[in-house]
Amino acid sequence: MAYEIIYMMLGIAAAMFIAWNLGANDAANPTNAAVGCGAISLKKALLMFSLFAAVGALAQGYMVMKTIGKGVVKDIDPLGALVASVSAGVWIMFCTWKGMPVSTTHSTIGSVLGIGFAHLILSGKARIDWAVVFAVILSWITSPLLAIILSISLYFLFGKVALYLLSERRNVDMFFKGLLVFNLAFSAYAFGVNDVGNATGVYIAVVSKIFGIPDMQTMFILAILGSVGIAFGALTWGYRVINTVGFRITRLDYVSAAAAILSNALIVWCFSTIPKFVIGYGMPISTTHASVSSVIGVGIAKVKGLAGVDWKIVGYIVASWILTVPIAAFISISIYTLLAYLIP
């Protein structure tokens, strides 16, 4: 029991570390387009992100936290939770330092899967629920495609709205600037719902078991801790990835930015909530994939072709996406297996 409490305390510290990384890398997802088009300053965008992400985490974060904490790998142990947090955090921090919008969701799922494979190596039992894993992977494939399609559709819809406002001699910039602020708040809320589980979801079973607290109360407490770490990460290092996605993929204006942000928000929120009511688990999709794909979509729509997107930058981003799950899993397997042999 003493070891479990020590692991848990170290694990909570590790969860705050990954929450910081999560805020630093993923603050770009709800804010990049609004900052990139000049509708709002970087500082104000990050403050809004921190506030509304916390609201989303506390209100609906439990929907996805359970998937990571008790869905992918059954009854993850305290040491496994600690190793998973550290492994994901190391990879996310490296990518943030390089300015790459890596998927924190993929990093977390990869590191948790690594714990499952480490159990397979050590005991012959992986404890992995493959049905949940396959459902998560399917959501990873469908969410970027849907984000591109939705952002293109919204771009043309908002273009018609802009023309109507011009014909009525209304202030188009003021309308879309207000819409952008609303969309940013909604997108940050959806982010909090989906991504707080990446920082703290692996500790649901551990904290609930050690202290005898019901899962719902445990998830609320962990959501508070995760929100604090996310806000700190966003306000310190969030600018690094925002510069990449907001300015380097495509040139954004108010109309295209509004379409990209709303597309991202709707995709993330729907994947977080609808599957929860259908199959019992919210889908921890990549908010990064949804955000970047939405920006790519409006870039394509603006010029009606592929020339509106810097595909070299997109190539670097996609390469980091492909590497994320295997690298996070490898780090997790290596550390857990080594510690399992060294610690009695």
3-state secondary structure of 170: coil
Nearest to 63 by CA among 276, 278, 295: 276
Buried b (16+ CB within 10 A) or exposed e, 208-235: beeeeeebeebbbebbebbbbbbbbbbb
Buried b (16+ CB within 10 A) or exposed e, 270-296: bbbbebbeeeebbbbbbbbbbbbbbbb
Q: Give the model confidence (pLDDT) of 191-223 as tens digits.
A: 999 888 777 766 666 677 776 776 678 878 888
Instruction: In whole angstroms, give the CA distance from residue 142 to residue 144.
Output: 6
Percentage above 90 pLDDT, the chain: 36
- Residue 171: count other Cβ atoms within 10 Å of its Cβ: 11
- Residue 145: count other Cβ atoms within 10 Å of its Cβ: 13
Residue 5 pLDDT class (50, 70, 90 cuts): confident
Percentage above 70 pLDDT, the chain: 89
Answer yes or no: is pLDDT of 335 > 90: yes
Q: Give the model confidence (pLDDT) of 167-196 as tens digits.
A: 998 999 999 999 999 999 999 999 999 888
Predicted model pTM: 0.85
- 270 φ, ψ (degrees, to nearest 5): -65, -40
Residue 153 pLDDT class (50, 70, 90 cuts): very high
Instruction: In whole angstroms, give the CA distance from residue 52 to residue 54.
Output: 5
Task: Give yes or no for a contact between 338 and 120, defined as CB atoms under 8 angstroms apart.
Answer: no
Q: Which of 268-272, 284-288, 316-320 has the highest mean pLDDT?
A: 268-272
Identify the residue with better confidence: 48 or 12.
Answer: 48
